[in-house]
């Protein structure tokens, strides 16, 4: 399988990129053994799962997915929806700076064929346990849209979708106002990417399968012809993955791993880290 074998297409004024993988096949294929051998710290700054969503099951490919989501939405204001376990994300991230919205983008992780996998915008499905609060029950069909100020927050949101058999993170990169995006995701009628995204905007869905029979994917949608720009991003990440795999044998500690993953995710231009 070719490395990062995206399907790129441009039709009806919209560019799409689609990547499908099972447990990182065709993404990262040389893995660091320390993910299995070392003890994980409870400190989020020193724990690869809490810092990047990377552990001994969903491995370095998760950091690649998140880095790509950041690269595709660079130079835009970012917002993200962690699907399904909304309230755990709010609790673990200790964040209240979200807007409740009526629609999220849905990917069925157990489907391989894109027409079945890509469900478009749908009413949010939220996990409610027996101890759900009255507020949680009152908003059980609403998703939380978080602002994403920097790549560290995007990594933290990615880690939150990996606590079940599968999870998805909708990442919006927009040039307009936050209120315009919120209004588009609160409408009475089911939106489409064309009704949500304005020229210059990008939507990325990052889905990770955490059990056999569930498949990882990246879906990127944007108005306009962005094929050349996206091909440049994909080519750069192919090179970064190759550099990472060449360095795996020299990694000894989690600090070494963090430095290597930061290098994979570093901004593609000379500007500041995207926020």
Rounded-to-10 torsion of CA 174, 176, 178, 184: -80
Q: What is the pLDDT of residue 151?
A: 95
Mapped onto helix, strand or coil, the DSSP state of residue 19 is: strand
Domain ranges of the chain: 7-265
Q: What's the pTM value of the predicted model, to 2 decimals?
A: 0.95
Say which residues have a Cβ less than 8 Å from residue 51's Cβ, sequence separation at least 6: 44, 45, 152, 155, 156, 159, 258
Sort strands 202-209 and 77-82 into parallel, antiparallel or unpaired. unpaired
d(CA 146, CA 79): 5
Q: At what angle do helices 151-160 and 86-93 cross, to 10 degrees?
A: 130
Q: What is the dihedral of CA 148, 146, 57, 242, to 10 degrees?
A: -20
Distance separating alpha carbons of residues 62 and 46, to the nearest angstrom: 17
- Residue 213: the pLDDT is 92
Torsion, Cα of 44, 35, 53, 167 (10° steps): -140
- Report helix, strand or coil for 25: coil
pLDDT of residue 269: 77
Chain center to CA of 112: 18
Strand partners, 148: 78
Query: How many residues in the chain?
Result: 275
**The pLDDT value given to residue 50:** 95
**Regions of the chain short of the pLDDT cut 70:** 1, 270-275
CA atoms of 257 and 55, how far apart (whole Å): 11
């Amino acid at each position: 399988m070719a490395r990062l074998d995206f399907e790129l297409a441009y039709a009806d004024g919209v560019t799409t990129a689609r990547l499908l993988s099972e447990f990182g096949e065709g993404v990262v294929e040389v893995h660091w053994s320390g993910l299995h051998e070392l003890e994980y710290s409870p400190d989020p700054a020193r724990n690869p799962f809490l810092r990047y969503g990377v552990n001994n099951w969903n491995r370095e490919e998760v950091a690649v997915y998140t880095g790509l989501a950041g690269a595709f939405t660079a130079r835009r204001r970012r917002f993200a929806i962690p699907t399904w376990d909304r309230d755990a994300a709010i609790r673990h991230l200790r964040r209240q700076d979200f807007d409740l919205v009526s629609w999220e983008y849905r990917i069925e992780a157990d489907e391989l064929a894109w027409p079945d996998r890509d469900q478009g915008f749908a009413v949010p499905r939220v996990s409610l346990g027996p101890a759900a609060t009255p507020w949680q029950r009152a908003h059980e069909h609403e998703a939380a849209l978080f602002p994403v100020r920097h790549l560290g927050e995007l990594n933290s949101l990615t880690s939150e979708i990996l606590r079940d058999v599968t999870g998805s993170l909708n990442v919006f990169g927009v040039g307009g106002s936050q209120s315009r995006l919120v209004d588009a995701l609160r409408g009475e009628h089911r939106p489409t990417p064309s009704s949500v995204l304005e020229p210059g905007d990008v939507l990325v869905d990052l889905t990770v399968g955490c059990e056999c029979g569930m498949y990882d994917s990246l879906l990127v949608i944007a108005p306009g012809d962005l094929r050349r720009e996206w091909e440049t991003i994909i080519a750069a990440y192919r090179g970064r993955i190759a550099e990472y795999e060449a360095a795996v044998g020299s990694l000894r500690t989690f600090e070494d791993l963090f430095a290597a993953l930061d290098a994979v995710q570093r901004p593609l231009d000379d500007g500041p880290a995207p926020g």
